[in-house]
Amino acid sequence: MGAQGMWRRVAIAAVVMGMLLSSVVGADEPDLREPLPTDPAIHTVELPNGLSVWIRRHQVPPGRLGMWLHIGSGSLNEEEEERGLAHFLEHMAFRGSENFPPGELIRYFESIGLTFGHHQNAFTGFDQTTYQMRLPDTEDETLRKGLLCMADFAFRLSLLPEEIEKERGVVLEELRAREGPIQRVMEQVLPVLLPGSRVAERLPIGKEEAIRAFESEDFRRYYETWYRPDNATLIVVGDVEPERMQALVEEAFAEWEPVEDPPADAEPGVEPYTETRAAVLSDAELTVARAEAIAVRPLEPLETVGDFRRDLVDSLGIWILNRRLSDMVREGKAPFQ
């Protein structure tokens, strides 16, 4: 975590700690088993087809709105010959759909003052693919057009062979741009850090030989398997009444059919450590030396007040340790750089 991110997290933790302390002054000890509260301003609903929708009215800045379509699937659900498919499919969302033929999507949004890559974008991770969009106003026509685009991403992509060929070069260039020492060391680290797991073998960018071989039916198979209403969440934040937005969402996603007996996600295969191990990894182009101590343990839930307290104490402890190590370096008292 960078210094700026670390300080931001500590600042947030301090504010939350202050709120928690102020809330219990003169009161009994808080019940650590109490579920963490949720923001009452978040309007949540599950559509009949299984799509989860979260809507939060936010009036700063006024008249603006952002939306995110989260698909609960990424590179971990790829088979060996599909490595890189989830990320490539994310690219194809901007290459034509039922209501936005190839070339029209970006042209339309630029016509209303938006910039591709800034106001519309997407990313793919190990366990998610997320599409994001920011709209310049909250007029019904603009909202309907934005939701139409998100619904097309969800279940109406064209996946035309000629468009796949055009985008293949873009994805390969992105792969080549990442082929530096950091990427190469990451490819060494993951099998050592998480041996035998799918995580170690499923970086979202994929493998060149697989990317060159993907055909339309490969995309279609993954798309129809993992892009499902029960596996998706639409998040909307902006200057709009939740009830009005819900009605527009229901209209836009009504045709997305649920899937009977959907498959389970692939098991990541990450196991807690049972012994202490060490590894030295290097690359001819690395310009820095770095030492790390890492412990892999089962994921701990963050659902109760007690869970939050545990996580807060851990975060503060890590920050204190990092601060002390930084002080040693700054004062010239450390046997390391």
* Tens digit of each residue's pLDDT (9 = 90 or more) over 195-212: 999 999 999 999 999 999
Write down the residue that tokens 């998610």 correspond to.
128
Mean pLDDT across 149-158: 98
Q: Which of 99, 71, 86 has the alpha carbon at shortest distance from 218?
A: 86
Mean pLDDT across 294-307: 89
55-91 per-residue burial string, b: 16 or more CB within 10 A, e: under 16? bbbeeeeeebbbbbbbbbbbbbbbeeebbbbbbbbbb
Number of domains into which the chain is organized: 2
Write down the residue that tokens 């097309």 correspond to.
152
Domain membership of residue 66 as a residue range: 42-253
Element (H, E) at 141: helix 140-155
Residues 48 and 30 in one domain: no
Q: Residue 3's pLDDT band (boundaries 50, 70, 90)?
A: very low
Residue 317 tokens, joined: 């402890």
Q: What is the CA radius of gyration of the chain?
A: 23
d(CA 252, CA 291): 51
Q: Is residue 279 part of a domain?
A: no
Q: How many residues does the chain have?
A: 337
237-276 per-residue burial string, b: 16 or more CB within 10 A, e: under 16? bbebebeebbebbbebbeebeebeeeeeeeeeebeeeeee
Q: Is residue 66 part of a domain?
A: yes
CB distance 75 to 202 below 8 Å: yes
pLDDT at 10 (0 to 100): 45
pLDDT at 111 (0 to 100): 86
Element (H, E) at 120: strand 120-124
d(CA 166, CA 94): 12
d(CA 69, CA 284): 41
Residues 71 and 16 in one domain: no
What is the average pLDDT value for the chain, to the nearest integer?
90
Residues 106 and 15 in one domain: no
d(CA 330, CA 165): 53
| Whether residue 2 has pLDDT greater than 50 | no
pLDDT at 336 (0 to 100): 79
| Whether residue 45 has pLDDT greater than 80 | yes
Q: Is residue 276 part of a domain?
A: no
Phi-psi region of 244 (alpha: psi -120 to 50; beta: other; left: phi over 0): alpha
pLDDT at 17 (0 to 100): 52
CB distance 116 to 91 below 8 Å: no
Q: Residue 6's pLDDT band (boundaries 50, 70, 90)?
A: very low
Mean pLDDT across 143-168: 97
pLDDT at 180 (0 to 100): 87
Residues 220 and 317 in one domain: no
Q: Residue 227's pLDDT band (boundaries 50, 70, 90)?
A: very high
| Whether residue 57 has pLDDT greater than 70 | yes
Residues 144 and 167 in one domain: yes
Q: Is residue 267 part of a domain?
A: no
Residues 59 and 130 in one domain: yes
Residues 165 and 306 in one domain: no
Residues 223 and 315 in one domain: no
The SS3 assignment for 235 reads strand
| Whether residue 27 has pLDDT greater than 60 | no
Residues 32 and 73 in one domain: no
Q: Residue 51's pLDDT band (boundaries 50, 70, 90)?
A: very high
Residues 28 and 76 in one domain: no
Q: Residue 1's pLDDT band (boundaries 50, 70, 90)?
A: very low
The SS3 assignment for 321 reads helix
Tell me the pTM: 0.84
Mean pLDDT across 231-255: 98
CB distance 237 to 116 below 8 Å: no
pLDDT at 109 (0 to 100): 85
| Whether residue 124 has pLDDT greater than 50 | yes
d(CA 239, CA 65): 6
Q: Residue 179's pLDDT band (boundaries 50, 70, 90)?
A: confident
